[in-house]
Amino acid sequence: MNTEKATLKDGRTIEFVHDQPRSGTMKEVYFTPDRKSVVCFYKDPCAGSDANRLQRLQMILGAYNPTLPQSHGGAAQNDIEADYYRKLFCWPTGIVVQPRFGLVTPAYPSNFFFPTGPVWLKGEEKNGMWFIGPKNRKWFEKNQPSELGSLIQHFSLCLQIARAVARLHNAGLAHSDLSHNNVLIDPSKGMSIIIDIDSLVVEGLFPPDVLGTKGYIAPEVLSTIQLDLKDPKRKNPNARTDQHALAAFFYWYLLGRHPLDGRRIPPGNTAEEQDLLAFGSQAIFCEHPSDSSNRPEEKQYVPCSALGPLLYDLFIRAFVKSLHSPSDRPTALEWVRGFVKTWDLLIPCSNSSCLHKWFVFHNSTDIRCPFCGTRFKGTIPFLKLRAESRPGQWAMDGQLAVYNQLPIFKWHIYSRVFPSPETDRTRQAYCVFHEGKWFLVNEKLTSLTSPGGNRVPPGQAVELKDGAQIRFSQEHNGRIAEVQMIRS
């Protein structure tokens, strides 16, 4: 093993294996001998003399760093938050000054590499395009279907991406190049990780190094790309362009097609000119509700409305109402809330061969999986969650589609609890189908109250009947669940 030493800005040294590097657009990457970290050298020989780049990297490692607690010079409030975001970002840990300018980052966790497969696949990074491209997806469906994961795992990784981007934006940062290249995903485990953190944008302080990746670049950036870099009319990557890229990633990944890539071909002398128009000034959502000119090529496709009303509204806002109006785009935090609330509407598909395995319950008159077409047969207890808006007045503020072994958490029980990195994830209760009846089984709740007003202690259950009202907790902000039995 041929190893060399790199010297960091703070005086530390780190060994790296000097063999064939992984080469990207801007950097060459070498593993440390234990393969827990990588040393990344910039290809640009002048990178180390760029004072702006050095200042940016120092801020990224310190004051902007959500993977390091404030007590150690980072941005995380505590160790719990730092540990949470350490799993969502591949965040730099050091600046290299010798033998060349570069940085040190953690190596991607092993599950973000394909462990098995043919020569062209084994050991490759789980770039999102492996799962988005139709040809690749068909290969996985036939040969390694377990790598594709299920819809609930897709929701999990999308929620993680939205949380990570929301954390950046809340700190005044922007990634500037969110795409399948810089967001690695593991659908089989429902995990994601954002990489290439060293080029974060801070408007007015640290400008973008790149414009983005094809398919994710916002229309306003493409529409002004011909203007001089210093022209005030030119639009460059920022948090609002991240919001476009985020919506494009979710749509493309969850539905298997690009939101702006339909059958319409704009006028242009070359394919490049046509792309600039199709994804720029003349971009049209392929599911635009009043303009069908850019509908998908395939005759039958799963529409975004199949993902439920909350996500549908966010997609309409992203690609219709604010496609060319950046200030109106859904924020990353809105996507977080959309996925969290829609997660509560997921139910399992009864078709054991369905690749998605789950679907969103949103149409009580025709309950069927939109991915395989299997119709649901049976009874679904639907819980309408109500919170006390003022003394004696209860307003609906959530809903749960019940399936066997559905877990109930504190964010379902209490109206002012949201599943954040620090939220207690201990299961409080669960729903079960037993001997032809549905029950809510109490595990941790101290004041669960039956429809008849009786306390249901931990270890006991209350039956879910149509019209019944069950109070999850008598504590402040405790919700009431109104049961509606839906039969199909």
pLDDT in tens, 360-380: 999 999 999 999 999 999 999
- Residue 313 banded pLDDT, cuts 50, 70, 90: very high
SS3 call for 321? helix
* Listed residue (303, 327, 302) closest to 315, CA to CA: 303
> What one-character-per-residue DSSP string does 332-350 give?
HHHHHHHHHHHHTTEEE-S
* Listed residue (194, 163, 161, 202) closest to 177, CA to CA: 194
SS3 call for 273? helix
**In the CATH hierarchy, which fold is given to the domain comprising 111-344?**
Transferase(Phosphotransferase); domain 1 (1.10.510)
CB-CB contact of 369 with 357 (8 Å): no
How large is the average pLDDT for residues 223-235?
Answer: 90
Answer yes or no: is pLDDT of 24 > 80.
Answer: no
| Rounded CA separation 25/182 (Å) | 12
How large is the average pLDDT for residues 432-445?
Answer: 97
**Residues 6 or more apart whose Cβ sits within 8 Å of residue 432:** 404, 405, 438, 439, 441, 461
79 DSSP β-pair partners = none
Strand ranges (DSSP E) for 277-335?
Answer: none
How large is the average pLDDT for residues 110-135?
Answer: 91
CA atoms within 13 A on the CB side of 382: 19
Answer yes or no: is pLDDT of 340 > 90.
Answer: yes
Rounded to 5°, angle at Cα 182 from 221 and 177: 15
| Rounded CA separation 377/359 (Å) | 14
Answer yes or no: is pLDDT of 300 > 90.
Answer: no
- Give, in order, the Cα–Cα distances in Å from 241 to each of 221, 247, 330: 8, 10, 11
The structural domains of the chain, with segments of one domain joined by +, span: 1-107, 111-344, 378-487
Is it true that 111-344 and 378-487 share their CATH fold? no
pLDDT for 20: 80
Is the peptide bond between 99 and the residue preceding it cis, with omega within 30 degrees of 0?
yes
| Rounded CA separation 335/45 (Å) | 40
How large is the average pLDDT for residues 66-73?
Answer: 95
β-strands 37-42, 27-31 pairing? antiparallel
pLDDT for 204: 81
pLDDT for 29: 94
CB-CB contact of 408 with 429 (8 Å): yes
Low-confidence winner among 20-24, 117-121, 287-291, 389-393 (lowest mean pLDDT)? 20-24
Rounded to 5°, angle at Cα 212 from 211 and 217: 100
Query: Chain centroid to CA 314: how far?
Result: 14
Residue type, 330: P
Answer yes or no: is pLDDT of 1 > 80.
Answer: no
* Listed residue (162, 157, 202, 154) closest to 178, CA to CA: 162
Answer yes or no: is pLDDT of 407 > 90.
Answer: yes
Token pair 């879910």: residue: 464
**In the CATH hierarchy, which fold is given to the domain comprising 378-487?**
Tumour Suppressor Smad4 (2.60.200)
How large is the average pLDDT for residues 172-177?
Answer: 94
